[in-house]
Chain A
Amino acid sequence: MQFGIFTVSDLTQDPTTGRTPTEAERIKAVLAIAQKAEEVGLDVFALGEHHNPPFFSSSPTTTLAHIAARTSTLQLSTATTLITTNDPVKIAEDYAMLQHLADGRVDLMMGRGNTGPVYPWFGQDIRNGIELAVENYALLRRLWTEDVVDWQGKYRTPLQGFTSTPRPLDGVPPFVWHGSIRSPQIAEQAAYYGDGFFHNHIFWPPEHTQRMVEFYRRRYEHYGHGSADQAIVGLGGQVFMRRNSQDALAEFRPYFDNAPVYGHGPSLEDFSSQTPLTVGSPQQVIERTLGFRDYVGDYQRQLFLIDHAGLPLKTVLEQLDLLGEEVVPVLRREFAALKPTHVPDAPTHASRVAAAGGAKDATVHAGADDVTGQAREEIEVR
């Protein structure tokens, strides 16, 4: 099972100091967090994508490429990549490029995005969200699996004889997860393709997660990718830890009470009982996290949100120490002991290359003059 963290890249005021980080500070902080995640033995770092303040992460592949150069084992992912408002051609190009730079340590999580104005800013309409996700993703897959694509759809200009470069590393595209909180159509999409399904599993009661995952698993089996319990499931989670649980509650409370998503609403205690948020000792986090399996079954990836709501970098790094030293080693052992052998691990580049019968170079050589860019026939015709 993979363990990691995901960040939305928010610049939020620290309510205890009144200070809001600059973009420069927050960007450097997220880089430090990602490197620390690898150092403490986590497997995955996933970065959000936003196109409006207070978020900085408009260009995830730039950030992830930098992190790739500074890490060696960390799996780089997204949370989420906007499949609705990004051009699927650009997603195909950018993430194939990142896959090469990161030696295959890349996967993606597709999401629709729920910020209304982002759609018109990128020439789209939020009411077409599901249709955009379906059409764009279908095209993205073709761009990665077919060398030359002729395509016509509803939401983007047609393509004739288009080759997305670079071709996927070793001829195998990055693994894709689909994230959705409550749209069965997206779970259906993940099941149809045999892709992974990720439920963000924070901010909402676990019943939502359970229903979506059950549906995805049932449809995964329906489409013949394997039995329901072999479907590839990822979950989010939100934790704050101190060795003494009372210290954790006291320290996290002002961040909770002022948090952008749920602040000024329910109490920390109520929200902790209504959603998977866990604020307490490492042991409490271990017990709560192991309990996720009770309602989603054996799953493949657990990501924690630990850096939002204005928490300072120093605190976040301490959280990573606790995760790496005390929580994840126990979770790894316990989950592994519970998982039946026929339940697969999360796909990686290596496992997907092996499943494809080995690595093969997928370069498309254009047969063109590398100086003028002209094909031989054009030159010979003269």
Chain B
Amino acid sequence: MSTRSGSTRTLAVVSAGLSTPSSTRLLADRLTAAAVAALADRGITATVEVVELRERARDLADNLLTGFADEPLQAAVDTVVGADAVIAVTPIFSASYSGLFKTFFDVLDTDALVGTPVLMGATAGTARHSLALEHALRPLFAYLRATVVPTAVFAASEDWGGADQGGRGLADRVTRAAGELADLVAGRPPAAPVDPFADPTTSFEDLLRGTGGRPST
């Protein structure tokens, strides 16, 4: 285990559940609690920020049309982009993530999550949807170049009543995924915000020469 004792990290939780309460949020909370515990085992105190996408549904539609995030949505975006790790949970609709979930990731800058550790979760009425995590969510985060933990956690309705399945039940999957996330977070320095308006590291003369600051060959 990492020896970064006493340090703190921010965990952003994105939940795209639509009902209140939702099983998606329920799963997100389970994953969050497990991740906080796993980080604590590694000497890291986690601050948790939850983004409920249902509350941002109109803001997201507006952003698609206007090209900018209004204040509440910008706050949610800043939370996720600035976090040390993201737990992202969606209901599965029509064999994929919900449109609301996808819209949130659509309005992020394409490089906003590069390298960010991500734990994916999904819920649905039946386990027959479970591979949507692998064929829909994982490619999405691969495109965004996030670092996704190997274990993705799917919870069908039946899982909420599932007994211990010899180390393969929902609780075990949650614990395993949270441990994987905590290992990634513990192995990385805290996220540092990038200021696009800092003085340029590439001089304008380099831009003019077309070298982009790289040594010309």
A residues contacting B by CB (< 8 A) are: 130-131, 134-135, 138, 153-154, 184-185, 188-189, 192, 203-205, 208, 211-212, 214-215, 218-219, 222, 261-266, 270-271, 274
A215: chain B residues within 8 A (beta carbon): 197
A242 to B210, CA, bound (A): 51
B204 within 8 A of A: yes
B204–A154 touching, CB < 8 Å: no
Instruction: Look across to chain B and name the residue whose beta carbon is closest to the beta carbon of A131.
Output: B210
27 inter-chain pairs at a CB distance below 8 angstroms, sorted by A residue, are A131-B207, A131-B210, A134-B208, A135-B208, A138-B208, A153-B210, A154-B210, A184-B197, A184-B200, A185-B200, A185-B207, A188-B200, A188-B204, A189-B204, A189-B207, A204-B67, A204-B68, A205-B68, A211-B197, A214-B197, A262-B66, A263-B65, A264-B65, A265-B61, A265-B66, A270-B62, A274-B71
Chain B residues whose C-beta falls within 8 Å of the C-beta of A274 in the assembled complex? 68, 70-71
Task: List 5 additional A-B contacts (Cβ < 8 Å) besides A208-B68, A222-B199.
Answer: A134-B210, A153-B210, A264-B65, A265-B66, A274-B70
Chain B residues within 8 Å of chain A by Cβ, number? 17
Contact residues in B for A153 (Cβ distance below 8 Å): 210
> Which 7 A-B pairs have CB atoms at the shortest separation, nearest pair first?
A265-B65, A192-B204, A215-B197, A265-B62, A266-B62, A262-B66, A134-B207
Within the complex, the shortest CB–CB distance from A189 to chain B, in Å, comes to 7
The CA of A280 and the CA of B70, in the complex, are separated in Å by 22
Fill in one digit per residue for B47-62: 1 if any A CB lies within 8 Å of its CB, else 0: 0000000000000011
Collect the chain B residues with CB atoms within 8 Å of residue A192's CB: 204
Q: Determine the chain B residues whose CB is within 8 A of the CB of A185 once the complex forms.
A: 200, 207
Question: Quick check: is B161 within 8 A (CB to CB) of the other chain?
Answer: no
A130 to B208, CA, bound (A): 11
Please indicate the chain B residues that have their CB under 8 angstroms from the CB of A266 in the complex: 62, 65-66, 70
Within 8 A of A (CB), among B157-200: 196-197, 199-200
> Which residues on the B side are within 8 Å of A131 (C-beta)?
207, 210
Residue of A204, A208, A262 touching B65 (CB-CB under 8 A):
A262
Is B197's CB under 8 angstroms from A261's CB? Answer: no
Q: Within the assembled complex, what's the spacing in Å between the Cα atoms of A55 and B71? A: 32
Question: How far, in Å, is A138 (CB) from chain B's closest CB?
Answer: 6
Chain B residues with CB below 8 A from A134, complex form? 207-208, 210
